[in-house]
């Protein structure tokens, strides 16, 4: 395809997005936005980004913050390892890079939670470095424009896309090109209802010519999601509720949740095993929550605790008023359960 980069840059300057809140030339802002945008759409990210930047306007404030404060602002955005990695990266930069975001591509890629494409996006958008990106939008654009078959998650297909991404890079205006290829996928070459009539490459697009726009990129091979189930103990004492911090690894790592037990077990006995004498009040409506690799069925059991221990709670447990608990760093279904009780 002739003059692809030149045509894309020209289109971006006229029709691309120029008012996104992180388009301020600050590597910290670019980095935060790129992490939030991993597997999450722009319109979902914008309000989270605004709240996050209001609380942590620079790298130093993020590095100095407790993890709970970071995860509380991430709550609801999903893929919580991103929030933990963001915090870990800020602390590493503060300790090892004099508090300045590194400019070197290899140093960026070595930071927690940053892969090849994210590192390239930061290097290109923040520092103008000539690096190719290959996020979901770019994969979709290339698969359609060049008629590339196969699921992009397969190594052979991914390698071909990376070679194409490298070959199409312009010698200059790399930031405009990088923003343009992302804008093209996000605003015109969308997954569903693509706006082919407004695309500057519609006459060159193999998928358009062959009537295969809906087929490409080839979707991930479908597999039935395994199902798991758990019962959550919603322990109440007066107006307070018990939360338990989850391990840092695994699902919802580092977030506050409810104690759990097998769904068929006696919740009163499970509460007693935790050291609480409690009566079962009722069984709250069950919830389904989908992760990328399994579906979780949650059965909340509401219990009234007769007496809280006189001594301090076990590490990792805390009693909070319901209103305060709803503001903690919570997984989405836990937040829904708490909000239903307020």
- Three-state secondary-structure class, residue 336: helix
For the annotated catalytic residues, the residue numbers are 34
Q: What does the CA dihedral 33, 34, 38, 40 come to, rounded to 10 degrees?
A: 30
Tokens 């290339």 locate to 142
Phi first, then psi, for residue 267 (nearest 5°) are: -65, -30
| Nearest Cα residue to 250 out of 80, 77, 72 | 80
- DSSP code of residue 226: P
Q: What is the largest CA-CA distance in the chain?
A: 76
- Residues paired with 227 in a beta bridge: 295
104 CB contacts (<8 Å, ≥6 apart)?
none
| Nearest Cα residue to 5 out of 126, 165, 212 | 165
């Amino acid at each position: 395809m002739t003059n692809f980069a030149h045509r894309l840059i020209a289109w971006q300057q006229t029709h691309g997005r120029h008012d996104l809140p992180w388009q301020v030339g600050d590597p910290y802002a670019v980095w935060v936005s790129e992490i939030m945008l991993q597997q999450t759409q722009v319109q979902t990210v914008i309000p989270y980004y605004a709240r996050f930047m209001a609380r942590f306007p620079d790298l130093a404030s993020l590095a100095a913050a407790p993890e709970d404060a970071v995860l509380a602002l991430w709550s609801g955005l999903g893929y919580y390892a991103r929030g933990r990695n963001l915090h870990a990266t800020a602390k590493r930069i503060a300790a090892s890079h004099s508090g300045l975001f590194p400019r070197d591509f290899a140093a960026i890629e070595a930071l927690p939670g940053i892969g090849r494409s994210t590192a390239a996006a930061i290097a290109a958008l923040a520092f103008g470095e000539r690096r190719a990106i290959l996020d979901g939008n770019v994969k979709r654009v290339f698969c359609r424009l060049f008629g590339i078959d196969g699921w992009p998650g397969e190594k052979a297909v991914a390698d071909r896309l990376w070679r194409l991404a490298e070959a199409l890079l312009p010698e200059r205006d790399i930031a405009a090109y990088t923003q343009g290829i992302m804008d093209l996928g996000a605003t015109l070459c969308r997954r569903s209802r693509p706006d082919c009539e407004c695309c500057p490459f519609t006459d060159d697009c193999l998928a358009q010519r062959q009537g295969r726009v809906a087929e490409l990129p080839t979707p991930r091979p479908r597999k039935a999601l395994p199902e798991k189930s758990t019962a959550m103990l919603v322990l109440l004492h007066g107006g307070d509720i018990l939360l338990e911090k989850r391990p840092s690894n695994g699902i919802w790592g580092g977030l506050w949740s409810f104690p759990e037990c097998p769904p068929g077990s006696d919740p009163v006995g499970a509460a007693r095993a935790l050291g609480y004498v409690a009566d079962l009040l009722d069984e709250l409506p069950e919830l389904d929550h989908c992760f990328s690799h399994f579906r979780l069925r949650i059965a909340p059991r509401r219990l009234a605790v007769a007496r809280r221990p006189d001594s301090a709670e076990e590490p990792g447990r805390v009693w909070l008023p319901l209103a305060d608990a709803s503001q903690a760093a919570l997984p989405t279904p836990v937040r829904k359960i708490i909000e239903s009780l307020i």
